Amino acid sequence: MKIKSVADFIDEREIEQALKAASRADKSMVRDCLEKASAMAGLTLREVAVLMNADGELREEMYASARFVKNEIYGSRVVLFAPLYISNLCNNECSYCAFRKNNKEVRRRWLNQQEIADQTRILIEQGYKRLILVAGEAYPKNEFHYIIESMATIYATKSGHGAMRRVHANIAPPTVEQFYALREAKLGVYQCFQESYHRPTYASVHKSGTKADFDWRATVMHRAMASGIGDVGMGVLYGLYDWRWETLALLQHVRELERTFGAGSHTISVPRIEPAVGSKLASKPPYAVNDDDFLKIVALLRLAVPSTGLVMSTREPAEIRRESLGIGISQMSAGSRTDPGGYSDKQLDKDAGQFEVGDHRPLHQIVNEVAEMGFIPSFCTACYRVGRTGSDFKNLASHPHVMSRNCETNALTTLLEYLCDYSSGEARVAGEHMIEMQLEKMVPTQRAFVTAMLERIKRGERDVFV
């Protein structure tokens, strides 16, 4: 297979035509698109553009459709994870980022392997089972082996019953050869955000460094999937350009991967620009997205790519994160620190973090709130380890209730692990109540099956999944 090196799949003319046609949409057209979306067949670019006009009662109908689709595919589970920043060294000059090369206000740091093990152990002892490794786009001594070695350190770190069962990575776009090394190192999801698909905007905010090459970054998912990486994670940085345009371009990218590899993006993240040390642009984004439009983006993506995991970070404040759970978010970070070594620091190091975090609550508080809201806090990593990735995952997720049964079962087993090993107080009470509620909803055969799995955990067995 010849790997694409130019992002010609971003068709600006198609985007402009879709937005223009959608501007004439009436209520009946919006409802027709919602009816199609509820059938979980996905949406065309023009249909997504039509739904961008849903306001008032139509917006509430769109939220109801998104809630239905998310529940049909994933059930009520919400996966929790944490980022682990191992370095803020960077060779890029990105106007919105505290890590940019020429920013003298950030204290530079990279973690050695012992420090990475120490940070990993802290996260394990809080109850995490998966993390995403994050590094600035320059490595100590310019050696990519630093990433591979760091992944090995994370996997090798244990504490009591706990260990990291899957490591994802958000790092500079690798070469094909480097992707082969990542695959051998047991990479889960490779995550990379294009930031902006609008070429003039991209050029204006990426002044220098390897990230200034739009096409190298935009075609990284082709290199990843051609190298055997089954799951990739994408996103744009909302606030750099018009959110409508960016969302349609992102979906063009997803469709391109579906055509070429049989599967699109395993996850889509929805970061908004947040203030960052040494960045005037981050404090006043040129196309700031308000809360109403931001929540609309979440619902739109859930309807447009129904089987894709939608990720909400701790960039957002607690109120927005709560609202997003009900309209499509299926994964959420918790207790995040964006500075290398941050999990052992007692105070937030604003001089080393990538951006300001909006939700500082620790994991146990998030577990408690998620459970009280009627969702199952999940630490599941089963799909990555049994091969339910890429096109196989998409095929399973396209059948209503098939994935949701697996997701909810594994969510309950990992939640019980968390409660047994790491939890107490309100979070434990809320978690145990959630497990009881879920068991009551099941038909007798399923209840017996899941109860037997839970009993194995109570007897001391760990990592029980389907």
Nearest CA-CA partner of 378 in 434, 336, 328 = 434
pLDDT of residue 390: 65
Burial of 35: CB neighbours in 10 Å, binned 0-12, 13-18, 19+: exposed
Tokens of 375: 């969702």
Q: Angle at the Cα of 190 (from 136 to 331), degrees rounded to 5? A: 100
Each as own residue / partner, the long-range contacts of residues 338-341 (CB below 8 Å, 24 or more positions apart, any chain) are 338/83, 338/85, 338/134, 339/85, 339/88, 339/109, 340/85, 340/86, 340/87, 340/88, 340/109, 340/110, 340/111, 341/109, 341/111, 341/115, 341/119
| E strand segments, 110-179 | 130-135, 158-159, 162-163, 166-170
Helices (H), 127-273: 145-156, 176-184, 199-205, 214-218, 220-226, 243-261
Q: How far is Cα 268 from Cα 396, in angstroms, rounded to an integer?
A: 18
For residues 253 and 242, the answer to whether their CB atoms sit within 8 Å is no
For residues 268 and 235, the answer to whether their CB atoms sit within 8 Å is yes
Can you name the residues that pair with 80 across neighbouring β-strands?
A: 332
Tokens of 275: 């203030």
Q: How far is Cα 408 from Cα 413, in angstroms, rounded to an integer?
A: 9
Query: What would the pLDDT profile of 185-235 be if each residue is shown by its tens digit?
Result: 999 999 999 999 999 999 999 999 999 999 999 999 999 999 999 899 999
pTM score: 0.95
Name the region of 108 (left: φ>0; alpha: ψ -120 to 50; beta: rest). beta
pLDDT of residue 157: 98
For residues 257 and 233, the answer to whether their CB atoms sit within 8 Å is no
Nearest CA-CA partner of 242 in 18, 8, 7, 9 = 18
For residues 344 and 93, the answer to whether their CB atoms sit within 8 Å is no
**The dihedral formed by the CA atoms of 449, 450, 453 and 457, expressed in degrees to the nearest 10:** -160
Q: What is the DSSP letter of 236?
A: B
Q: How far is Cα 437 from Cα 439, in angstroms, rounded to an integer?
A: 6
**What backbone phi and psi angles, to 5 degrees, belong to 231?**
-125, 130
**What backbone phi and psi angles, to 5 degrees, belong to 116?**
-65, -40
Residue with tokens 């919602």: 34
For residues 52 and 21, the answer to whether their CB atoms sit within 8 Å is no
Strand 331-333 relative to strand 162-163, pairing: unpaired
Name the CATH topology of 1-460: TIM Barrel (3.20.20)
Domain boundaries, the chain: 1-460
User: Coil, strand, or helix at residue 271?
Assistant: coil
pLDDT of residue 426: 87
Under-70 pLDDT residues of the chain: 345-352, 388-403
Q: How far is Cα 115 from Cα 425, in angstroms, rounded to an integer?
A: 31
State the amino acid at position 83 in one-letter form. Answer: P
| E strand segments, 45-165 | 77-87, 93-94, 130-135, 158-159, 162-163
pLDDT of residue 401: 65
